[in-house]
């Protein structure tokens, strides 16, 4: 679609004059880059010792956060909601 076709279509749809539509600044949108695929993202937290990303453990039935586990440090640790971030799958 060209700029002229867009302006004509908006003028036809709204009943406004072509000059009014042009003065309002309607324009063609630039393509939006695709967002990362959902399978390429995961929730993670950082280990307090080694700072490596660790998989987000989720919540229990009671709504409380489970302990996160860092295998290289052999450590279970408590997390806060503010510690959760989006990252690469662990």
Q: How far apart are CA 70 and CA 66, in angstroms?
A: 13
Q: From first to last of its 90 residues, what are the pLDDT tens digits of the chain?
A: 788 888 899 999 999 999 998 898 877 777 777 776 677 788 999 999 999 999 999 999 998 999 999 999 999 999 999 999 988 777
Q: How far apart are CA 22 and CA 6, in angstroms?
A: 10
Predicted confidence at residue 26, as pLDDT, reads: 79
Does the model's pTM come out above 0.85? no
Predicted confidence at residue 36, as pLDDT, reads: 65
18 and 11 Cβ atoms separated by less than 8 Å:
yes
């Amino acid at each position: 679609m060209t700029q002229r076709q867009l302006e004509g279509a908006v003028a036809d749809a709204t009943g406004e004059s072509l000059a009014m539509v042009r003065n309002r600044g309607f324009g063609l949108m630039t393509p939006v880059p695709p967002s990362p695929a959902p399978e390429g993202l995961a929730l993670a937290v950082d280990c307090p010792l080694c700072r490596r990303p660790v998989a987000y453990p989720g919540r229990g039935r009671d709504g409380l956060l489970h302990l996160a586990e860092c295998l290289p440090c052999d450590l279970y640790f408590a997390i806060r909601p503010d510690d959760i971030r989006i990252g690469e799958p662990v």
